[in-house]
Structure 1
Amino acid sequence: MPQALKADVGDHAPCDAEFPARAIAHITADREATADAPLDLVPFANLKGFFTDGGRGSAPHVLWDPFTGAFAQFLPATSRSKALSDAPGGTRTNRAGKVVLQIEALFFPHCRVGAEVFARLVDTPCKGWAELHSWISSWGVPDVWPMGRPTSLSRNTCPDDTWRTRGGWYAHGQVPENDHVDPGSWPSFLAGPGEPTPARPLLEPFPGASFFRAGRTSPVIARMHGRLVTEGCGRYATGSRKDVWGAGDVRSYTAWQEKLGFEADEADGIPGRFSWERLEVPRS
């Protein structure tokens, strides 16, 4: 996936191409919260680290952060992943398709991000969904839910003949041989040709890394400052001179890169195209 941070865990294996292409929708469900006791969302970098370390044996193809639009890819699309239970001699759930693209959305019900609590995945900003949907569609996965689009955390196990013959999107809670109930909800497919698409705000295009040098004065930097603060990444010592690039911007942008899953030298505080596009700095 072009937009994803690459974190290949190896152990590639082919899919079963006699079955139709499909995608599997998961949520990470890494904390148990309630409406009365919400919990903070686990950082994207933590989950990325989990799937490249102790959780590599259950890594999906892609981890998606619907709050920032960040992605990490652990396996190529043409390989099976291991995010599904797959009984020996059964339907080979992780492989049954020309591709079996497994997506883990960074989410659990009643997660808290800043001051806001989100009960369902579809209540989140769903940033990056357009890019994710486009990439999955490019592998021939049709825009259909053979067992219905998920609307609750419940089991609705797919019959074997449906699983073998119908491609498209499946919830984890619909896959044979599994006992999970996620994802509970999933964003709608994007408008097709000739259908109206929702208006999107005008965003500031990436001005290039050389733009961000000490003393640079620009309203673009002021608007970037505002977005970093909104994302909880403000590391500014003062609130003055917001339009001048300085040490506070470097510290704050480093925090944003780390939130996106950048590590070590990657989180250098200098904007790159990937991190800039996910920050969504307004044009005016």
Structure 2
Amino acid sequence: MPDPWMSRALKADIGDHAPCDPGFPARAIAHITADRTATAEGPLDLVPFTALKSFFTGSGKGRAPHILWDPFTGAFAQFFPATSRSKALFDAAGGVRTNRTGTVVIQIEALFFPHCRVNGKVFARLVDTPCEGWDDLNAWINSWGVPDVWPMGRPTSLSSNRCPTDMWRSQGGWYAHAQVPENDHVDPGSWPVFVSPPPGPTPVTPRFEPFPGASFFRPGRTSPVIARMHTRLVAEDCDRYTAGTGIDVWGPGDVRSYTAWQRKLGFEGSAADGVPGRFSWDRLGVPKA
């Protein structure tokens, strides 16, 4: 059985699990958070990932999807297991049970609104973003039997195109929020193309350092692994080092820089303590020698 929790996602289980309807085909629903209204003439800064994660675990529990995805950093938070319905769709009483119609109905909210500004650059469409992490998200949803098809067509604009009830009940695959019966939203406006396996021989899988355990990272520890970690933190714009020497020795600069990496992934408070854990280490991808 596939993993109900996406391995790359921060698990933020809000409880209130409920089954889907197994008599219908597997599907995924594409949303954008659309949490600000901006224009080409008046772009606005993207809302922080941590703010939306806090919303969906707090006052927004009643509207939470399965997955919150940051297409700029590849960060994910997951609020429901794949085996449960989530609550990001309007569901009319006595209607088609929009949040449940399928063996799974996996809902994804991409952290995005048109004309959002990130690091000084403005993005009009979701597909204009780096779409970091989409390959992993696409693969995980595939593992639940959701086919890489858009029965109503891949979304290309912010417009309504409601799916007929018989098609909704009979055809699995990907649907835009704008295509779901009973709903009046027009998002997501665009969505990245499905990730196809590369033709020919299977590519060589990159080799990364396995997590050495938190106890490995003690003051004065000298290791080439720490040096390669240092290089990756700098590459991820988490450079909080004050000296360029001794990069293979674990010290205060490593703690500050690793804290910056944890915060970039969405960790807060004591969870961003500068000591590597398995999740953040695996996401960093420290190469083997």
TM-score category of the 2 structures, normalised to the smaller one: 0.7 to 0.9
The 8 Å contact of residues 208 and 272 in structure 1, kept in 2 or not, is answered as no
> Does structure 1 residue 97 correspond to structure 2 residue 96?
no
Give the whole-Å Cα distance in 2 for the aligned partners of 1:7 and 1:155: 31
2:133 pairs with one of 128, 138, 141? 128
Equivalence for 1:8: 13
Deviations 1:74-106 (A, max 9, x none): 112111111001111111111111111101111
Letter in structure 2 aligned against 1:195: P
Equivalence for 2:79: 74
Shift of 1:223: 5.2
Give the whole-Å Cα distance in 1 for the aligned partners of 2:116 and 2:203: 28
The 8 Å contact of residues 70 and 278 in structure 1, kept in 2 or not, is answered as no
Equivalence for 1:256: 261
The 8 Å contact of residues 45 and 118 in structure 2, kept in 1 or not, is answered as yes
Give the whole-Å Cα distance in 2 for the aligned partners of 1:283 and 1:119: 38
44-53 vs 230-239, which moves further: 230-239
Runs (5+) with no aligned partner, structure 2? none
**Residue aligned with 2:117, SS:** strand
Letter in structure 2 aligned against 1:245: W
Give the whole-Å Cα distance in 2 for the aligned partners of 1:123 and 1:203: 30
Normalized against structure 1, the TM-score is what? 0.87
**Residue aligned with 1:131, SS:** helix
Equivalence for 1:51: 56
The 8 Å contact of residues 211 and 282 in structure 2, kept in 1 or not, is answered as no
Give the total of aligned pairs.
Answer: 283
Give the whole-Å Cα distance in 1 for the aligned partners of 2:41 and 2:102: 41
Give the whole-Å Cα distance in 1 for the aligned partners of 2:126 and 2:202: 19
Give the whole-Å Cα distance in 2 for the aligned partners of 1:206 and 1:181: 43
**Residue aligned with 2:17, SS:** coil
Query: CA distance change for structure 1 residues 107 and 228 in 2, over 3 Å: closer, same or farther?
Result: farther
Shift of 1:52: 0.5
Letter in structure 1 aligned against 2:60: G
The 8 Å contact of residues 38 and 111 in structure 1, kept in 2 or not, is answered as yes
Equivalence for 1:208: 212
1:138 pairs with one of 124, 139, 143? 143
Letter in structure 1 aligned against 2:128: D
Query: CA distance change for structure 1 residues 57 and 144 in 2, over 3 Å: closer, same or farther?
Result: same
Give the whole-Å Cα distance in 2 for the aligned partners of 1:240 and 1:39: 40
Deviations 1:144-176 (A, max 9, x none): 100111122221111111111100000111111
Equivalence for 2:196: 191
Query: CA distance change for structure 1 residues 148 and 46 in 2, over 3 Å: closer, same or farther?
Result: same
258-267 vs 227-236, which moves further: 227-236
Give the whole-Å Cα distance in 1 for the aligned partners of 2:228 and 2:77: 27
Shift of 1:230: 5.1
**Residue aligned with 1:72, SS:** strand
39-48 vs 167-176, which moves further: 39-48
Letter in structure 2 aligned against 1:279: L
Deviations 1:107-134 (A, max 9, x none): 2222233243322222222222222112
**Residue aligned with 1:103, SS:** strand
Equivalence for 1:270: 275
1:23 pairs with one of 28, 47, 54? 28
The 8 Å contact of residues 27 and 183 in structure 1, kept in 2 or not, is answered as yes
Query: CA distance change for structure 1 residues 12 and 275 in 2, over 3 Å: closer, same or farther?
Result: same
Query: CA distance change for structure 1 residues 214 and 63 in 2, over 3 Å: closer, same or farther?
Result: same
Give the whole-Å Cα distance in 2 for the aligned partners of 1:57 and 1:197: 46
Give the whole-Å Cα distance in 2 for the aligned partners of 1:32 and 1:239: 43
Deviations 1:167-202 (A, max 9, x none): 00001111111111111221211214x736997995
Letter in structure 2 aligned against 1:275: S
Question: Kindly, what percent of the aligned residue pairs are identical?
Answer: 72
Equivalence for 1:157: 162
Shift of 1:213: 3.2
RMSD after superposition: 2.6
Give the whole-Å Cα distance in 1 for the aligned partners of 2:203 and 2:117: 27
The 8 Å contact of residues 204 and 220 in structure 1, kept in 2 or not, is answered as no
Shift of 1:239: 5.4
